[in-house]
């Protein structure tokens, strides 16, 4: 099976330097098989777990870490490369023209997406002094595992409290960004209470800084598209649509 598959080697955008221990960032991916596609089409609450398992199965090089525990930038990069290795680099994506309102199709060359690579200076400080409480916190990059856990924990808490009017995801999303508070690591119950008590200005400072940190490594998903109907040039965001893993034309 492996002998007939396509294989390519890539370098992770993080260069393997944003984890506990630095490692060789070269990753060799093989194309997906029917087995991986059947796994992808399976239904489950942990969507990132499913795709991470598929990515891991298609990695033929040795890595000390699962894609499930990589930063989002590395995970997203591998997801795009897996699609390119399996189906090709051309991807048809639909978007709505902001000028004329038409829903049009554009073809994206996945290899043309800019990669934001690890840069220690550009990554900047991972610490933040909160604007209201003035608490000093250090931040963590989110991982696919964290995103699954945010949804799972929010769903479990909603079921426990029986309050369907409350969305708990912002609580657990904020918690996922926090590594230490005043230099100390908090256990989950204390961290949850800490976030619950924060003024919203502090919460959004954490979320904004955390989102910014996530974007410091990985793919730049901004795409310049020209509307074939009115000729208007706009910047749109890359979106994964059915064509991503189910292309209408495979070249």
pLDDT tens-digit readout, 4-51: 778 999 999 999 999 989 999 999 999 999 999 999 988 777 889 999
pLDDT at res. 249: 58
Terminal CA-to-CA distance of the chain, rounded, Å?
21
Dihedral of the alpha carbons of 173, 176, 177, 178, in degrees to the nearest 10: 130
pLDDT at res. 202: 98
The first and second tokens of residue 85, run together, are 């290795």
pLDDT at res. 45: 73
Q: How far apart are CA 92 and CA 145, in angstroms?
A: 29
Q: How far apart are CA 231 and CA 61, in angstroms?
A: 45
Smallest CA-to-CA distance from 11 within 218, 241, 243 is with 218
Smallest CA-to-CA distance from 68 within 86, 54, 58, 82 is with 54
pLDDT at res. 43: 75
Domain range summary for the chain, segments of one domain joined by + = 2-118+216-237, 125-214
Q: Is 128 exposed, middle or buried (0-12, 13-18, 19+ CB in 10 A)?
A: buried
183-196 tens-digit pLDDT: 999 999 999 999 99
pLDDT at 251 over 60: no
What contacts 208, CB < 8 A, 6 or more positions away? none
pLDDT at res. 182: 97
3-state secondary structure of 90: strand
216-232 tens-digit pLDDT: 999 998 888 889 889 99
pLDDT at res. 5: 76
pLDDT at res. 1: 43
Phi and psi for 62 in degrees, rounded to 5? -95, 125
Confidence of residue 250 (pLDDT cuts 50, 70, 90): low
Instruction: Extract the runs of DSSP E, i.e. beta strands, from the chain.
Output: 7-11, 26-30, 90-96, 103-109, 115-116, 127-129, 136-139, 178-181, 218-219, 222-226, 233-237
pLDDT at res. 3: 53
Q: How far apart are CA 243 and CA 235, in angstroms?
A: 20
pTM assigned to the model: 0.90
């Amino acid at each position: 099976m492996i002998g007939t598959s396509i294989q390519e080697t890539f370098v992770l955008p993080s260069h393997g330097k944003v984890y506990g221990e630095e490692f060789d960032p070269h990753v060799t991916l093989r194309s997906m098989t029917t087995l991986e596609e059947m796994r992808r089409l399976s239904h489950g609450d942990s969507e990132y777990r499913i795709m991470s398992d598929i990515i891991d199965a298609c990695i033929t090089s040795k890595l000390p870490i699962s894609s499930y525990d990589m930063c989002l930038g590395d995970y997203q990069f591998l997801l795009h490369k897996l699609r390119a290795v399996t189906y090709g680099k051309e991807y048809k994506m639909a978007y709505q023209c902001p000028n004329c309102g038409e829903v049009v199709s554009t073809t994206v060359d996945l290899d043309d997406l800019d990669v934001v690579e690890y840069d220690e200076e550009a990554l900047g400080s991972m610490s933040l002094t909160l604007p209201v409480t003035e608490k000093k916190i250090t931040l963590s990059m989110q991982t696919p595992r964290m995103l699954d856990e945010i949804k799972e924990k929010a769903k479990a808490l909603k079921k426990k409290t029986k309050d369907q009017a409350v969305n708990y995801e912002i609580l657990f999303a904020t918690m996922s960004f926090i590594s230490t508070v005043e230099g100390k690591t908090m256990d989950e119950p204390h961290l949850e209470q800490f976030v619950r008590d924060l003024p919203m200005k502090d919460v959004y400072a954490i979320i904004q800084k955390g989102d910014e940190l996530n974007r410091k490594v990985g793919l730049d998903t901004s795409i310049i598209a020209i509307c074939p109907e009115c000729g208007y040039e706009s910047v749109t965001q890359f979106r994964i649509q059915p064509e991503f893993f189910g292309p209408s034309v495979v070249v």
